[in-house]
Structure 1
């Protein structure tokens, strides 16, 4: 699961971007990178930890008041510097990307035929070159990004810098979450609100298909229909220390030990006489549960292992037959679903597209 951070301000943004990346380390990653625009697009990327990126930046400082940064979890291409983000096209476009582009092979071949050269094995570099290509015939960046959204298939979130737009960050959300932070004469983007807590607690979440244009003083959001819209601003109450390891050796250990309390907190407002109320699962849950005759769990990775454990509990306590499927396999199968089957989809990461 990749992490995105972006910032535009009246101060150097590299420290902000680095701190944001550190707060996204819990998501897991294998490489990291930063690009700033001042006035050229300059990048530093590395395989390994954010601390290694910070060390490289000590030797090769990036100075600028607008930039984007990324932590990558390899899906296409091995973990290495050339596959790390941000990806550039012709030194005029830089992008960071969270998600998967399903039709990137076809798009990549079209771009190669147009004369573009690829330096990485990622689907993400295809986005940078495609946007550069679209800008040649559609100079208006918002229109070009709308065309980009139409051509890309998959679930993704993007942060974009354009050399010809030196005072603007662009963002696009399609299937993967993206949050905007609102400061005083500064704006931020991130794939998780925890990355923005040190700089602002005023957040808004882009909705499906939204394109955002951010300057220091203005925020413009265009929805999937092409209309200018406003999204509600939320005062985030999460405490900054919630994203630190604390006294634990690593985030996995922290999450393991915090599971009992996390479950209690989740259901705290839906307990009665020691039992979880149906209302915890939605207003129609009680009526639905009355008709359930079997359960099917869909999950990936470690969530699949958790689903296997849950299937034992469901059969033991609810006395309902329960099957478990790997979600990425299930979506391509021609399955037979019996009536009154309750489906439970478990996300592997909180953002798993195929679940």
Structure 2
């Protein structure tokens, strides 16, 4: 989760930008930089490492200027280096960027053919050159920026400054958050209101597809159709806390909406988008997978369901036998750990007591231990043989959302790597699977446009006493996760089942008062799942079908409600279909008036058995 700050000010702004970037350090980064306009020309300072390194560079070579942008970067395209650090610039424009530009390779080839020369390995530099190309064609800075932005595919937030355009800042959002701050004589851009708190408490948040043009303290926001848009200006209290709610009513809602960005960062850590292929980060890991006789997966709660989905991926792609159990049970049943086995443990906090104890037990039985964690300094990370980080950033809401999808975003490339190491995934399959994963953030951005529909459907679900979730294959664990989310925050009794198990007992519960939520992308298991759904409807059950357009069309009009998810490779559907079940639980809880972020009896990190 990189950080963006921009200032169209009335005094030298580099120091202000540096201070604001410090407020974004919680998001994680490995390099930083600032660019300003000095006598109308773009000048910049960049450094690898912490902001203290950038501070030293600026003290050694001061950076004046009233208009500027700053950035803390977490390496995605290209390793941490000064050349890859933001801002990226040409003689005419400087750009900072969060997210991933999916079509950067095609754009880069087009620009190279026109004579543009690139200095970095990043996707971001393409933005600077594309804007420059349009300015070279005679377009104004504003028109060139808008035209370039409309050509970008992916999930991103952007901020730009331009040679000779004092006081001009242009920003854009598609999937990654970007806030606008309103001052008396200045205006600002920031990744969140917390970064802008020292300057102003008046903030608005861009919607997906928005472009904002700041000229001094004058702010104009344009929607995706380039029409002036009114975005509500809110009075924030961001200075009082570590992380603000980003214009949302609850942290959980903010964290749901952060998923395109944090999934993109997690995927970029594991996948080289230029090939695309899994990055070979750990020779020891590849060797362990090649020689492994089995894989034991263990976790608690939502992380356990991520592990269940991982089980499908590892067995399908790597033909690796997988045993999975909740961490609170695993070591007490005295499991048989085979010689040469591996054990994978998943935890958001890295401090979950049961998971930590299970890891220690597996190590004592000679297993190679792997930790998938969101906190790399945690106990589980320190004790595991191999650590695989996720990049969800701080998750404040007790009900896990972005941590769950980031766990999936780490497990999926790991399964591909295992398949590659074991000789079951060739180069063509690797490219296909990695390309599909890199499209996930964009698909989630597209789906989030349906949020009002989920809010309306949740009104009906909130009235139920009991709710059933059905899924098959890798979507069965997602049914379990959907039921858990609903239970956690709305206090509605819910259960998840493998769809084929309905006729073995649970179908006795079906009547017109029990909503049945069916997760059924149009894949190889679709017909089987819909057959089970028809059995439910034949007994008066109210079915909410979550599928893609092909699946919804095939199901017909008999369903109670339908939610359309973008069509995608079946491999990535668990990442996409997690979002509707999260939103459904969230809005059901809002409708019931429960404490969404801190549900009763629950804690964010369970550090005792």
Provide, for residues 118-170 of structure 1, a one-character-per-residue CA deviation record: whole Å limited to 9, x for no partner. Answer: 11000000110011001122422222222112211111111001103122111
More strand by share: 1
Following the alignment from structure 1 to structure 2, what is the Cα–Cα distance between the partners of residues 172 and 6?
A: 12
- Spell out the pairing of 1:17-32 with structure 2 (5 A cutoff): 17-32=17-32
> Is 1:263 the equivalent of 2:398?
yes
For residue 470 of structure 2, the aligned residue among 267, 270, 294 is 294
The answer to whether residue 71 in structure 2 is matched with residue 70 in structure 1 is yes
* CA separation of 1:231 and 1:241: change in aligned 2, threshold 3 A: closer
TM normalised by structure 2 equals 0.46
The 1:20–1:312 alpha-carbon spacing in structure 2 relative to 1, beyond 3 Å, is: same
Residues 171 and 213 in structure 1, CA contact (< 8 A), matched pair in contact too: yes
CA distance in 1, matches of 2:395, 2:149: 41
For residues 479 and 19 of structure 2, the distance between their equivalents in structure 1, rounded to whole angstroms, comes to 37
In 1: Cα distance, 2:580 partner to 2:59 partner: 41
| 8 Å CA contact retained: 1:156, 1:176 | yes
| Greater RCO, 1 or 2 (C-alpha within 8 Å, sep 6+) | 1
- In the aligned structure 2, how far is the partner of 1:148 from the partner of 1:180? 21
Equivalent-residue separation in structure 2 for 1:308 and 1:292 (angstroms)? 8
Cα displacement (A) at 1:71: 0.7
Cα deviations across residues 77-126 of structure 1 (Å, max 9, x unaligned)? 1111110000012x211000111110100110111111111110000001
Where 1:83 maps in the other structure, the secondary structure is coil
Structure 1 unpaired stretches of 5+: 245-250, 265-278, 300-306, 324-331, 348-355
CA distance in 2, matches of 1:209, 1:288: 36
Matches within 5 A, 1:117-196: 117-196=117-196
Pick closer, same or farther for the CA change 1:296–1:75 going to 2, 3 Å.
farther
Q: How far does residue 292 in structure 1 lie from its aligned partner after superposition?
A: 2.8
Which residue in 2 is equivalent to 1:247? none
CA contact (8 A) 2:77 2:123 kept: yes
User: Cα gap change, 1:260/1:2 in structure 2, threshold over 3 Å: closer, same or farther?
Assistant: closer
Give the superposition deviation at 1:242: 2.3
- Structure 1 equivalent of residue 58 of structure 2: 57
- The CA distance in 2 between the partners of 1:23 and 1:147, in whole Å, is 32
Q: Distance in 1 between matches of 2:25 and 2:580?
A: 22
3-state SS of 1:33 partner: strand
**In the TM superposition, what is the alpha-carbon distance from 1:211 to its structure 2 partner?**
1.3
Aligned residues between the structures = 310
Residues 298-313 of structure 1: pairs in structure 2 closer than 5 A: none
Alignment of 1:93-108 (within 5 A): 93-108=93-108
- Please give the alpha-carbon distance, in whole angstroms, between the structure 1 residues aligned to 2:180 and 2:474: 31
Greater helix content: 2
Deviation per CA, 1:211-248, whole angstroms, max 9, x where unpaired? 1111223111222212222211000023345259xxxx
Give 1:321's match in structure 2, choosing from 497, 500, 504.
497
CA contact (8 A) 1:103 1:153 kept: yes
Corresponding residue for residue 578 of structure 2: 344
| TM-superposed deviation, 1:36 | 0.5
TM-score (norm 1): 0.76
From the superposition, tell whether residues 235 and 111 of structure 1 become closer, same or farther in structure 2 (CA, over 3 Å). same
TM-aligned CA deviation for residue 38 of structure 1? 1.4
RMSD: 3.8
Q: Residues 480 and 497 of structure 2 are in contact (CA less than 8 Å); yes or no, is this contact kept in structure 1?
A: no
